Amino acid sequence: MDADVIIVGAGLAGLVESNELVRAGRRVILVDQENAANLGGQAFWSFGGIFLVDSPMQRRLGVRDSFDLAWQDWQGSAGWDRLDGPHGEDEWANKWGRTLAAAL
């Protein structure tokens, strides 16, 4: 196989970038760990949602939100439960997520 670009990940970002590159005349290889039935990555689970924390629109609409609520929700869905032990596989994902949620 010969390509100008190899994109790892067929989530929304990978699919959009692949489309843009092909439209620009580039040859693209798109690889993903999932099979074709799961094309789109986690977009299926997000339903096109946007993650906001205590935004002006939420406040105008009377939606009660805070960093603590957002962080609790995200931890519940992300499943970052492997923080301790010899490997701590989720330690960096947890730190990244907490930092991002705090910045929103």
Gap between the Cα atoms of 104 and 11, Å rounded: 22
- Can you give the pLDDT at residue 9? 93
Q: Among 96, 102, 41, which residue's Cα sits nearest to residue 71?
A: 102
pLDDT per residue as tens digits for the range 22-58: 999 999 999 999 888 888 887 777 666 677 888 899 9
Beta strand 28-31 pairing with 5-8: parallel
pLDDT per residue as tens digits for the range 47-86: 666 778 888 999 999 999 998 998 888 888 887 777 776 6
Alpha-carbon distance values, 77 to 6, 22, 48, 66 (Å): 30, 34, 16, 17
pLDDT per residue as tens digits for the range 2-26: 999 999 999 889 999 999 999 999 9
Q: How confident is the model at residue 93 (pLDDT cuts 50, 70, 90)?
A: confident
